[in-house]
Amino acid sequence: MPRALAVETSGRIGSVALVEDGQVLAADEFPHGLQHAAHIITRIQSLCDRLGWKPNDLRELYVSIGPGSFTGLRIGVTLAKTLAFATGAEVVAVPAARGLVENAPAEATEVLIVLDAKRDQIFTARFARTGRDAAWQEIEPPHLDDLSAALGRAGRPVWLLGDGIPAHRKFFPSDPQIHETAETTWRPRAEAIARLGFELAMASRFVDPDKLEPLYIRRPEAEEVWEKRHGRPP
């Protein structure tokens, strides 16, 4: 029964969870950001102490790779790399959008992820399922888009899910078949990354820690501004 750590830092609130044989045994959450990065290891150690685990007991690492907060993703991926190199644990990369769609209400059959990418754009992905007990299928992979175009391709009814909803509500068309999910569902959670990571691990879908990279979709805005100002990439 492999013991594992799940890490989700793509959203405004980060979380970690300890997992054994696919079951979440303990979890903690915290605001993301560089000022909180130094405390993640302390929180993980606290969870391990609670269960009587040692760092070397972790044989698998499930990490959310994005899209989402650039700072948060760097923290999560760097943490996974560091722990993998230190403990020899195997790494599973879980797309954040796939974890987020697990929060969809039971009646939802098609979901459009809405994460704010600024400049009236969104990071999005689209999922569908045939019924409440069916598995989600990825219809459109994570990409940069605008909400109007994404909704134009989506089926009906469709549920919008993600913390970019408030910033893009002005683009919602008047359509009774477009449903806004509850705000409590907008936050990605390590518990979902744990479930999905375990499924991928069972299928031996591990990644080389050296090649693990965040799914940024596009470069950080600071890099784009620097290139525009200097005429070359930073």
Instruction: Output the pTM of the full model.
Output: 0.92
- Rounded Cα–Cα distance for residues 90 and 62 (Å): 9
What are the structural domains, with CATH classification, of the chain?
3-97+187-230 (3.30.420.40), 106-181 (3.30.420.40)
From first to last of its 234 residues, what are the pLDDT tens digits of the chain?
Answer: 799 999 999 998 999 999 999 999 999 998 865 555 668 999 999 999 999 999 899 999 999 999 999 989 999 999 999 999 999 999 999 999 999 999 999 999 999 999 999 999 999 999 999 988 899 999 999 999 999 999 999 999 999 999 999 999 999 999 999 999 999 999 999 999 999 999 999 999 999 999 999 999 976 665 555 556 666 766
- Rounded Cα–Cα distance for residues 134 and 81 (Å): 33
Q: Are strands 90-94 and 58-64 parallel, antiparallel or unpaired?
A: parallel
Give the relative orientation of helices 34-51 and 70-87 as an angle to the nearest 10 degrees.
Answer: 40
